[in-house]
Amino acid sequence: MPRDGSGRYVRTDGVRTGPRIWRDAEGARIRINALDTDAHANDMAEAISESLSRDGQTSASGDQPMAGHRHLQVAGALRVDQYATLGQVYSLTPVWVPSPGVGGTGDAIQLTVPGDRSGYREGYAYLFPARAGNTGPITIAEGSHGALSALREDGLPFAGGEIVANQLIAALYDGTRFLTNIGRRFWSGTQAQLDGIATKRAGVVYLVLPSR
């Protein structure tokens, strides 16, 4: 017989069932014969054939409940009908960090996200509400990994006052630091600082201050 519907396999020789079918046959003074032996062996073969093979020769014929467990050491998905690993999700899509996961201060932002990661990877992106406004340059850190500097969308360091509490921040790790969506429509600085901006942004008014 196959599994009983609850995942339990019970031995049978076609007449007797249970863990002691041969002793039961002996107690009934029934000699072991070819028919009983074949029935017992074939029953076990049927149960094995209905089980999942670890080398992929068989496939599931129904939904597989995991009872709270996880698949471990899985490879990344390559097709649209394969599920992605958490690492792929982090690499390909921004991670939403709700307010409880945003700590630190307005200048030193600390993010807590699910998953055990060994460090930052280029392309990791985060979306989160600001815990507080900033008073100067800011850093962003995830978990126990080191804090990294963050730049405004115009490529300049934060000066203070660009962020207000609960403002939505998008931060992308470029392999060295975080680039954010926070910027200013008005920029002010010296001529030397203006010359240091490699790419001027459309829609930003640049005000050059006289050197002192």
For the chain, the domains span: 1-60, 86-183
**Which whole number is the average pLDDT over 20-26?**
76
pLDDT of residue 97: 92
Contact 173, 148 (CB under 8 A): yes
Task: State the pLDDT at residue 18.
Answer: 74
Copy the structure tokens of residue 155.
């490529």
Q: Is the pLDDT of residue 191 over 80?
A: no
Q: Mean pLDDT of all residues in the chain?
A: 81
pTM: predicted TM-score of the whole model, two decimal places:
0.55
Q: Is 5 helix (H, G, I), strand (E, B) or coil?
A: coil
Reading the block at residue 196, the tokens are 């240091």
